[in-house]
Chains A and B, each alone.
Chain A
Amino acid sequence: MPLLKVEKVTCGYGDMQVLTDVSIEVKRGEVVSIIGPNGAGKSTVMKAVFGLLHPWSGRIEFDGVDISRHEPYQIVETGMCYVPQVANVFTELTVDENLDMGAFVRSDDQVGDRKQQIFDLFPRLYERRRQKAGKMSGGERQMVAMGSALMLDPKLILLDEPSAGLAPKMVDHIFERIVHVNRSFNIAVMMVEQNAKQSLQMAHRGYVMASGENRVEGTGTELLNDPDVARLYLGG
């Protein structure tokens, strides 16, 4: 049974339809990358999965439970977390407090150990734990955002363009950390990326979206080698 099952979901904002019959699956411990051009509806899929939008039709199942009508705070409790692309840290809160908010739905006695694990994963955050997140660089903010999401000890983490706007060196670092998180904590990852090549290289499987539909799916290598995908979405 897949961990996450998006089944023929149609939805949008207000009365503007964005997604048409999108189906996506994520298995336990898997890294799934969704690529596609701007406006393909990649981020909308994330929002629908996370309960920020409710599907008009179709069904979303997580860990065997139908979550189509759940609110985000209920979805968090089931063990899924989401890192938005922008405004993904509390700028007025310190790093420490940001991490605390990540574990908001967990009881306090679980928080200490977990925080230590996050600091091990991102040592930079430990150095700066008393600093306000708003005063940090883009890469550091991305670490805070991922760290807060991981505080939950989730089964699945949704990443919306984790590399957007970062320096190339920082992109490599963040991707390396994502792989690390996936392997050593056995957390499934579903991510949306502009940086298609790099994200397909690290993904177990990938989906190509266009105009609100999923067009092609396959393993990361299959998609990388698919001539159509390469021509249309990987820039030759």
Chain B
Amino acid sequence: MTQAGEGVRAAFGPRPGERLKAALQTRSALASVIALFFVLLIAAGLVQDASAGRILSLFVWGVMLGGVIGLGGIGLTLVYGVLKFPNFSHGALATLGAYIAFSTVAYLPKSEPIGPFSFGWELVAGLVIAMPLVGLVAIGVDRVMYRRLRVQRSSLVLFAMASLAMAFFLRSVIYLIWGSDFRFYYQGRANPALDLPLGLRVQADQIFILLLAVVLVTLVYLLLEKTKMGKAMRATANNPELAQVRGINTEKVIAYTWMLSGALAAAGGVMYGLASQLRPEMGFWLLLPMFAAVIMGSIGNPRGALAGAVIIGVAQQVSSAAISPAYGPGVAFVLLVLTLLIRPQGLFGERS
């Protein structure tokens, strides 16, 4: 926009077309379009003879899937915010976490399932081992690749390209170590759904996944709002040059960001593996929903990523009442494109 244009606008106020455009780009416009999308999805489901109870169950499963996407999405959005590039290898980190937990479960003696869940303590141990380990892998990748690119002040494109290379590198490592077959944490163990009021059918594992997501997100929130390192992360994401000027060791902040991002991705991967099965491409399938959640929730905003993830998760599940569940990523993609068209800064971003 030229300066002359600015001047004209200051003198005469916005032209009607621009006012309309501005109105279409508001948060409420985006929220209403998303709401309309949901109404259409549900209507399509009802037309296809899905019962209200089934749609309600799908809603609850969607919230659970949102938890999985959200765990990955929070890490993705932190890295996107602090380092300013889309990390295409984030899905591979999630997959790695799932497989590390798988090996832990395979190695440890099997204990009895905990309460109503399908898994025993060894899966919890797997989760606890996988999270920091994947965090360390993420830091290692940063040391080898991204830090050199930072030193060279490379363009965003080279960062994106490097992360694509790392995605395929990590996936090839996973293939080499674990092979390409389907895996289950517990082969052949029953995982019956609980019958809840209102005709809801939900597995205990799904409730666990959701609770874990809530707990981890709360911890991340406390970390970011209350601790010095958390504030430093937000500060670095907001203004990296000023963070340096204030004496924040940004390399240290970046290392913490990768640790957090990798650990959360691992948790997301373990949970995704628990909800379905383990495959080397599982992280790649999560990548599109995660990016959709991150952009919808505004880049760099962890709470936004979680909110976006729940919206995407529910949309994916509810859509399966109307169309083939295989098109879940397609639903995430439609929501992504709607967001980019209406308000690229997302639901929670400020006007730029």
Interface residues of B in 203-240 (CB under 8 A from A): 228, 231-232, 234-235, 237-239
Inter-chain contact total with CB atoms closer than 8 Å: 68
A93 touching B246 by the CB < 8 A rule?
no
Q: In the bound complex, do residue B234 and residue A93 qualify as a contact, i.e. CB atoms below 8 Å apart?
A: yes
Chain A 84-112, CB-CB to B under 8 Å as 1, else 0, gives 10011111110001001110110010000
Asked whether any CB of chain A lies closer than 8 Å to the CB of B245, the reply is yes
The answer to whether A92 touches B238, judged by C-beta atoms less than 8 angstroms apart, is yes
Contacting pair B247 A76 (CB below 8 A): yes
Q: Does A134 contact B (CB under 8 A)?
A: yes
Q: Determine whether the beta carbon of B246 is less than 8 Å from that of A76.
A: yes
Picked from A77, A82, A97, A101, the residue with its CB within 8 Å of the CB of B243 is A101
On chain A, the residues within 8 Å of B250 by CB distance are 73
Measured CA separation A44–B245 after assembly (Å): 14
Is A152 close to B, CB under 8 A? yes
| A101 engages B246 (CB within 8 Å) | yes
Residue of B235, B238, B242 with most partner-chain A CB within 10 A: B242
Some 5 contacts from A to B, beta carbons below 8 A apart, are A89-B242, A90-B238, A90-B242, A97-B235, A104-B228
A: interface residue count bin? 20 to 34
- Does A72 interact with chain B (Cβ within 8 Å)? yes
The interface of chain B, by Cβ under 8 A from chain A, is 228, 231-232, 234-235, 237-239, 241-250, 350
Interface residues of A (CB under 8 A from B): 50, 52, 71-73, 75-77, 81-82, 84, 87-93, 97, 100-102, 104-105, 108, 134, 148, 152
In the bound complex, do residue B249 and residue A93 qualify as a contact, i.e. CB atoms below 8 Å apart?
Answer: no
Of the residues B234, B243, B245, B249, contact of A50 by C-beta under 8 Å: B245
Contact partners of A50 in chain B: CB under 8 A = 245
Give Cα A102–Cα B239 distance, bound, in whole angstroms.
13
Q: Is the CB of A102 within 8 A of B246?
A: yes
Pair A93/B241 contact, Cβ less than 8 Å = no
Are the C-beta atoms of A100 and B228 separated by less than 8 Å?
yes
Q: Which residues on A sit within 8 Å (CB–CB) of B231?
A: 93, 97, 100-101
For B248, the closest partner residue in chain A by CB is A104
- Of A50, A73, A87, A89, the most chain B CB neighbours within 10 A belong to A73
Closest-CB distance, A170 to chain B (whole angstroms): 21
Residues on B with beta carbons closer than 8 Å to the beta carbon of A71: 244
**Given A97-B231, A101-B232, A73 and B247 touching (CB < 8 A)?**
yes
Residues from chain B with a CB closer than 8 A to the CB of A77 are: 247
Q: Given contacts A97-B231, A101-B235, are A84 and B242 in contact (CB under 8 A)?
A: yes
Give the CA-CA distance A93 to B233 in the complex, in Å: 11
5 closest pairs, A vs B, by CB?
Answer: A76-B247, A92-B238, A105-B247, A73-B249, A72-B244
